[in-house]
């Protein structure tokens, strides 16, 4: 729920939702768990970007500031439930929003494949010969030369097994309450499976990913049960922004929309990052209808590239969410990939479809010669314009992601930032600051004066 000072003064209520971590200010009893019934975990936004006044206001109602962020001017706090309205009405507070839950479906269950079980899981030399999933072949990623070299991909999930024989993890951070910030190991399995689809290495062992040369980062925003909060998601995105991670892949979803997360997504997009997410596993009527809206959040946000899932026979998966915000379709059913304990397993879901698109985005980004965040809109247009119509209904968005067509097509160059999806000019991630512009202008003027009077 969101409460603003203006709404309180007008006597009007408003509802929404929210998230968990950045810079820890005070250590909560359990950052991932729900706050006690007599307190509420909330995002608190200042009216004029002044955190000092905000922190005083939180303390003034008996609350505790838990988290601050590098790139966003708001905090996460734990506040007595009966004082949230007082906080929202305090001077200098723009609005207060509940920190809601996100995660993966409780029934996500990978199936281990006996044929791929190595005799000695810890000994990479005993792992089976490399193979590709049907999904990788269907989108043509096994038939392209680029591998996503020098592109950074943040896997915002349950972590990644860092010593898996088919994976190379470049780094990461843990934003959950369990473990230290440097402990981004996956003890659930979902994040490792997603990572393998996006970028398992091409080393002749086990499985190969869509973009095998990409740099994978384990951004652990979900705990070992696959649950988290929007503030953890915000903290993961915040970390990706601070570390110039070009692609932010989120195979997760929540029930509620959030003004806070909306702002974070829009900031990341305007800074040149491409955010991708699973559409959700809430199902569909299987009738090609355009009237259904079953997508989870943040897939419903326009700035996020949302991915639905299909079966091997080119039909929409029965579990896949659908809606007007779906952008692309990708394989999602019985996809073989890496799993924890140095094993391999099949799994299904739109969370499994999303990393295929993330991988293709890395392939295109890698040949665009962009150095860091920047041409996100151009990359997105390349993916959607090159998609293959399969369902011929609105359920697939632009169609099935097509690695061959995306790589062979009109790939944007590094400085292509011509326009956003609304047709407005944009220079996302590439604009210079006003100070830099002024310095150049002054320098040019001085040079002109020297020419005239030199």
Point out the residues that are catalytic: 157, 190, 351
Contact 227, 217 (CB under 8 A): no
Residues whose CB is less than 8 angstroms from the CB of residue 260 and which lie 6 or more positions away in sequence, other chains included: 18, 19, 43, 45, 74, 97, 230, 234
C-alpha 323/C-alpha 300 separation (Å) is 8
Q: Of all helices (H) and strands (E), which one includes residue 330?
A: strand 326-331
Helix axes 190-199, 350-367, angle to 10 degrees: 40
> Which SS3 state, helix, strand or coil, does residue 33 take?
coil
Contact 197, 138 (CB under 8 A): no
Q: Which residue has the tokens 């509420």?
A: 40
Q: Which residue has the tokens 């998230």?
A: 19
C-alpha closest to that of 296 among 342, 348, 351, 340? 351
Contact 362, 411 (CB under 8 A): no
C-alpha 400/C-alpha 407 separation (Å) is 14
* Residue 389 tokens, joined: 């119509």
Contact 223, 177 (CB under 8 A): yes
Question: Angle 215-220-224 (CA atoms, 0-180°, nearest 5)?
Answer: 130
C-alpha 152/C-alpha 3 separation (Å) is 37
C-alpha closest to that of 271 among 421, 373, 362, 368? 373
Helix axes 230-242, 259-270, angle to 10 degrees: 10
CA distances 252 to 136, 198, 247, 291, Å, are: 21, 15, 15, 23
> Which SS3 state, helix, strand or coil, does residue 163 take?
coil
447: exposed, middle or buried (Cβ count in 10 Å: 0-12, 13-18, 19+): exposed
* Residue 341 tokens, joined: 């304990």
Q: Of all helices (H) and strands (E), which one includes residue 53?
A: helix 51-60
C-alpha 84/C-alpha 38 separation (Å) is 11
């Amino acid at each position: 729920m969101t409460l603003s000072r203006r709404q309180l003064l007008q006597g009007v209520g408003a509802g929404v939702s929210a998230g968990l971590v950045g810079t820890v200010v005070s250590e909560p009893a359990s950052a991932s768990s729900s706050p006690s019934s007599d307190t509420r975990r909330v995002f608190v936004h200042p009216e004029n970007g002044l955190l000092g006044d905000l922190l005083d206001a939180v303390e003034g109602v008996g609350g505790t500031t838990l988290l601050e962020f590098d790139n966003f001017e708001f905090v996460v706090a734990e506040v007595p439930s009966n004082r949230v309205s007082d906080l929202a009405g305090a001077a200098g507070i723009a609005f207060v929003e509940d920190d809601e839950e996100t995660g993966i479906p409780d029934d996500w269950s990978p199936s281990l494949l006996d044929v791929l079980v190595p005799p000695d899981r810890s000994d990479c030399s005993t792992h089976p010969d490399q193979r590709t999933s049907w999904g990788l072949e269907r989108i043509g990623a096994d038939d392209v030369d680029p591998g996503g070299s020098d592109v950074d991909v943040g896997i915002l999930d349950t972590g990644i097994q860092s010593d898996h024989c088919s994976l190379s993890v470049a780094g990461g951070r843990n934003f959950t309450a369990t473990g230290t910030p440097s402990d981004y190991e996956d003890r659930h399995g979902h994040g490792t499976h997603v990572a393998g689809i996006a970028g398992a290495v091409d080393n002749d062992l086990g499985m190969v990913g869509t973009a095998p040369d990409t740099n994978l980062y384990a951004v652990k925003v979900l705990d070992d049960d696959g649950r988290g909060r929007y503030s953890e998601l915000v903290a993961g995105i915040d970390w990706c922004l601070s570390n110039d991670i070009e692609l932010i892949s989120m195979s997760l979803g929540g029930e509620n929309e959030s003004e806070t997360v909306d702002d974070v997504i829009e900031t990341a997009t305007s800074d040149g990052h491409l955010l991708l997410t699973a559409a959700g596993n809430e199902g569909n009527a299987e009738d090609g209808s355009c009237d259904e809206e079953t997508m989870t959040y943040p897939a419903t946000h326009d700035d996020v590239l949302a991915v639905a899932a299909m079966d091997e026979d080119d039909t929409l998966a029965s579990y896949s969410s659908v809606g007007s915000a779906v952008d692309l379709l990708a394989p999602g059913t019985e996809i073989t990939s890496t799993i924890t304990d140095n094993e391999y397993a099949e799994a299904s879901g739109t969370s499994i479809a999303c990393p295929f698109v993330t991988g293709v985005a890395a392939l295109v980004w890698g040949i665009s010669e962009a150095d860091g965040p920047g041409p996100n809109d151009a990359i997105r247009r390349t993916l959607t314009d090159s998609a293959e119509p399969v369902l011929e209904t609105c359920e697939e968005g632009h169609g099935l992601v097509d690695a061959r067509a995306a790589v062979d097509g009109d790939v944007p160059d590094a400085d292509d930032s011509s326009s956003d999806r609304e047709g407005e000019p944009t220079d996302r991630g590439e604009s210079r600051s006003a100070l830099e512009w002024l310095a150049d202008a002054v320098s040019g003027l001085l040079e002109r004066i020297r020419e005239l009077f030199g």
